[in-house]
Structure 1
Amino acid sequence: MNCCSPPYPLHSPCRNDTTYDVLLLQDIEMTDMEPASLENLCVLYHSANYIVVNKHWDIRIDSKMWYEKQTVQSQLKLRFPDLVDPGTYYGFRFCHQLDFSTSGALCVALSKAAAGNAYRCFKDRLVTKAYLALLRGTVEKETMTLNFAIGKNIAEGKTHMMCIDGTEDCENPKPSQTELKVLEYGTYDGEPVTKVLLQPLTGRTHQLRVHCSAVGHPIVGDYTYSLGKDNSPYRMMLHAYNLRIPLPKEPIHVTAPDPFLPHIDTKWVPERLMKTLEGALEHLLDWCKEEESKPPDETSLVDEKISSPEETEEQRAQCQQWLSEWSLD
């Protein structure tokens, strides 16, 4: 049996089981560099309301293309046939998105009510997401705030890409903000790279990839934003490491183990530690809790920087999409 398929329901208390944690880490180390398969679904959290999986790095969440059989949607249907909801298009309600090339924590709601509760947390910006990445080059500043409005690239041949405000053919750029913290300096396949922790404070398409590229440090293996040049690594080095959804009755806090370790990928060679991952994450979570504890009439710095009419429209569009899907129930 796959170590990510325990013979018992993986409710939140099991996340503290030391034996299970060891088995999970061993399983990830053995399979992280292998291609995705329908059977290789790693479940990090499972309750009556939600499932959080550790999405593989080369698989789509869902697809309407008949020929695309291998998706997270298909993995879930295979593993949990009794949980498929025929009243929804995909059978499961995905609370958020991860790119095809991005791995890590992905939350799935198992009912209309659960999806609505999660949506409110996302809409109110209460959700904390932290990503790990390997970036090309040496990032000199140990802490950076990346403020680049992001829009759609409408240039011929680049309509699948996003771009920053001021770029030619950049349509409808919207305010976007990412916090970056340097963890380690080292090399990947002999070239200088920097391991960082990224916190997106907005949820734009390809936000982390565009922001890192904008400061001259694209993500290792990002074929799209290197314009096809960075094609030697086996994957794009971006991983949704930590997900915290402060649901009132069932707070979710899940970590998808770090895949960027030298004993997993020997091409990554750390040389200088600047900040431990645990310390950086603890600092991030403390900051988020402080923001949550502020009185409703106290506007946070984050809200001042990124609030805009466009953000409200985007949230409304997302809500309408969810409600449209729910109406099939």
Structure 2
Amino acid sequence: MQAINFRDCNEINRRSPLINRTVKAVSASMEPASLENLCVLYHSADFIVVNKHWDIRIDSKMWYEKQTVQSQLRHRFPELADPGTYYGFRFCHQLDFSTSGALCVALNKAAAGRAYRCFKERLVTKAYLALVRGLVDCGKMTLDFSIGKNTSEGKTHMMCIGGAEGCENPKPCQTELQVLEYGSYSGDPVTKVLLQPLTGRTHQLRVHCSAIGHPIVGDFTYSLRADSAPYRMMLHAYLLRIPLEPEPVDVTAPDPFLPSLDPHWAPQRQLCTVEAALKGLLQPPAGEGQSPQHSGTEKKKSPPVETEEQIAQCQQWLCEWGMD
């Protein structure tokens, strides 16, 4: 698809209704978050799953942080806010400020407790879409780098892989990566990938992709402030599956990395569709053997010990949402 010059949009709109609709779709996909543009993917009596916008915090205690998912929810569903909680809504998990996609919110204490148990017992399946810099050679791989907090001067808000200078208390973590498409972004070679985190460390996907020499497009932090041209970081929580009873939460957030939505992204060669990659992820062939470096299924059955960060978060959840 030819890139659209937004300065010429008025002239284009007069000429073609079809292009007019395309321009509106592109503009909508790139517009910043507001109180009004919350996208709800799933809504039941117990849970809401929203398609979190890029570059918005889930919640904040800072008075100047006006745009948060919490404030969007209060604006859209004021009757569902729980005055017994600090933020009004119980977020079942976290997404980075720069990451978009499926985010689950519990609407009562009992529902939060059920979701907490699924996360604690590693029963939740998550998959992310990303555009990464360069052409990833291997079609499928397991990234197995321990991650710890970076204590180097000027990088204390970052994480790093074990063995790096200033890396404090690294913990084991694994990510499955599958190549979907090769192409370019603003003329530079990139690869579209599906990422499945098998563990849950802070910034895990961003650090793992950077560790193999393929940082996520638009990751301002882990490019050391160099990758600033893209309008957003290209990481999106595509699939969220929580096996709750009696009704599981099984949601996909629409793929934002399409040339019809972002004309800077130009796919050139497809290796695997998202649907096929998810089918393999969710329904691995019975009895199929796996090599040690691709033992994602085994790792999910026998997950590593909880990280200190996860234990602290779980304790916080239990304190606030203790089961009656």
What TM bracket, shorter-length normalisation? 0.7 to 0.9
Compute the displacement of 1:58 (Å). 1.3
What is the DSSP-based 3-state SS (H/G/I as helix, E as strand, rest coil) of the residue aligned with 1:287?
Answer: coil
Question: Does 2:53 correspond to 1:53?
Answer: no
1:289–1:86 Cα change, 3 Å: farther
Query: Residue 56 and residue 303 in structure 1: after superposition, are their counterparts in 2 closer, same or farther (change >3 A)?
Result: closer
1:234 alignment counterpart: 231
CA distance in 1, matches of 2:87, 2:285: 32
5 Å-filtered alignment, 1:175-186, equals: 175-186=172-183
2:20 matches 1:34: no
Counterpart-to-counterpart distance in 1, 2:94 and 2:300: 22
Q: Mark the CA change 1:246 to 1:262 in structure 2 (over 3 Å): closer, same or farther.
A: same
CA distance in 2, matches of 1:193, 1:173: 29
Change (3 A) 1:28 1:325: farther
Quick one: which of 109, 114, 136 aligns to 1:112?
109
Q: Which residue, out of 37, 60, 65, partners 2:62?
A: 65
Are 2:320 and 1:321 equivalent residues in the alignment? no
- Per-residue Cα deviation, 1:61-113 (whole angstroms, up to 9, x for no partner): 00010110110000000000000001111100000000010000000000111
> Is this contact kept in 2: 1:209–1:225, CA < 8 A?
yes
CA contact (8 A) 1:177 1:306 kept: no
Distance 1:189 1:265, change over 3 A: same
Gaps of at least 5 residues in structure 2 are 1-22, 288-296
Shift of residue 301, structure 1, vs aligned partner = 2.0
- The RMSD of aligned alpha carbons is 2.3
Counterpart-to-counterpart distance in 2, 1:314 and 1:123: 12
Query: 2:304 pairs with 291, 302, 307, which one?
Result: 307
Q: Which amino acid aligns with 2:196?
A: Q
Residue deviations 1:3-35 (CA, integer Å, cap 9, x gap)? xxxxxxxxxxxxxxxxxxxxxxx9975522101
Identify unmatched segments of 5+ residues in structure 1. 1-25, 291-299
Give the corresponding residue for 2:74. 77
The letter of the residue matching 2:35 is L
Question: Which of 269, 279, 284 lines up with 2:281 in the alignment?
Answer: 284
Judging changes above 3 Å, is the alpha-carbon distance between structure 1 residues 27 and 199 closer, same or farther for their aligned structure 2 residues? farther
The 3 A distance-change label for structure 1 pair 93 and 44 is: same
| Alignment-derived partner of residue 221 in structure 2 | 224
Are the aligned partners of 2:128 and 2:238 in contact in 1 as well (CA < 8 Å)? yes
Provide, for residues 148-199 of structure 1, a one-character-per-residue CA deviation record: whole Å limited to 9, x for no partner. 0000001111000000000010001011100000000000000000000000
Letter in 2 for 1:325: E
* Distance (whole Å) between structure 2 residues aligned to residue 110 and residue 27 of structure 1: 33
TM-score of the superposed pair, with normalisation by structure 1: 0.85
Match of residue 148 from structure 1? 145
Aligned 8 A contact 1:49 1:109 in 2: yes
Give yes or no for contact 1:186–1:192 (8 Å, CA) kept in 2. yes
Contact 1:53 1:106 in 2 (8 A): yes
Deviations 1:205-259 (A, max 9, x none): 0000000000000000000000000000000000000110011212010010000
CA distance in 2, matches of 1:305, 1:232: 41
Aligned partner of 1:23 in structure 2 is: none
**Number of residue pairs aligned between Structure 1 and Structure 2:** 295
Match of 2:30, SS?
Answer: coil
Distance in 2 (CA, whole Å) between partners of 1:36 and 1:206 is 22
In 2, distance between residues paired with 1:247 and 1:289?
24
SS of residue in 2 equivalent to 1:317: helix
- Give the Cα separation in 2 of the matches to 1:128 and 1:153: 28
Secondary structure at the residue paired with 1:211? helix
- TM-score, normalised to structure 2's length? 0.86
CA distance in 2, matches of 1:301, 1:179: 12
CA distance in structure 2 between the partners assigned to 1:67 and 1:78 by the alignment: 17
